[in-house]
Amino acid sequence: MKRFLLNVVLMILAFTVQNCVFPLIPFLTATPNLLLILTFSFGFIYGKEAGLLYGLFAGILLDLFYSGPFGFYTLLFINIGYFNGICTQYYYEDYINLPLVMSLVNELIYNLYIYVFRFLIRNRLDFLYYAKEIIIPELIFTVVTTLLIYRFFLSANRRLDELDNRREREY
């Protein structure tokens, strides 16, 4: 239960930083997608069900904050959490290459989803401009941020595992 509450607090904190703090930093042309990083990390480490649950939570947060059809982000984040949960069988704590590749692929899927359903449908066909100005800077920021956040998340996860093991030994 403590792990779930900590993860929910991390999601709310990531949402707040992503939407309230990063836009105020003047030199950032794009911001890392912290909710996407946490959603795929939870799915990757804990499995498909956890990926679905945290994807649902992250998607609802974004749907409540941004205008548009409700469920737009929820559908995307649920799928990202689930499909990254399938890869949990390849999870090794110290293996950073797969999470970085997953971060890159997830960010690319996220931005293509936004492009298709927010721009392409409205007949805005300048994909090269969108890729150069939005997709590539966001990809770079998200992958670099994944290096930091994923390591922090792994260390917090290890500490919670140690606390759980201590409690089990005491009983």
Q: Where are the domains of the chain?
A: 2-170
DSSP at 71: T
Position 106 scores a pLDDT of 95
Tell me how far apart the alpha carbons of residues 19 and 34 are, in angstroms, rounded to a whole number: 10
Position 16 scores a pLDDT of 93
Position 124 scores a pLDDT of 82
Q: Which residue has the tokens 């499909």?
A: 83
Contact 102, 143 (CB under 8 A): no
Position 160 scores a pLDDT of 82
Tell me how far apart the alpha carbons of residues 87 and 49 are, in angstroms, rounded to a whole number: 12
Phi, psi of 95 (to 5 degrees): -95, 105
Name the H helices within 25-126: 34-46, 48-65, 72-86, 97-114
Position 93 scores a pLDDT of 67
Tokens at 58, concatenated: 């992250």
Average pLDDT per consecutive 10 residues, the chain (171 residues; last block may be shorter) = 84 92 81 91 89 94 88 94 88 78 94 91 87 91 89 82 79 65
Position 15 scores a pLDDT of 93
> Residue type at 2?
K
- Of 42, 56, 131, the closest CA to residue 88 belongs to 42
- Strands, DSSP E only, in 15-156? none
Question: 2-170 — its CATH code?
Answer: 1.10.1760.20
Position 169 scores a pLDDT of 76
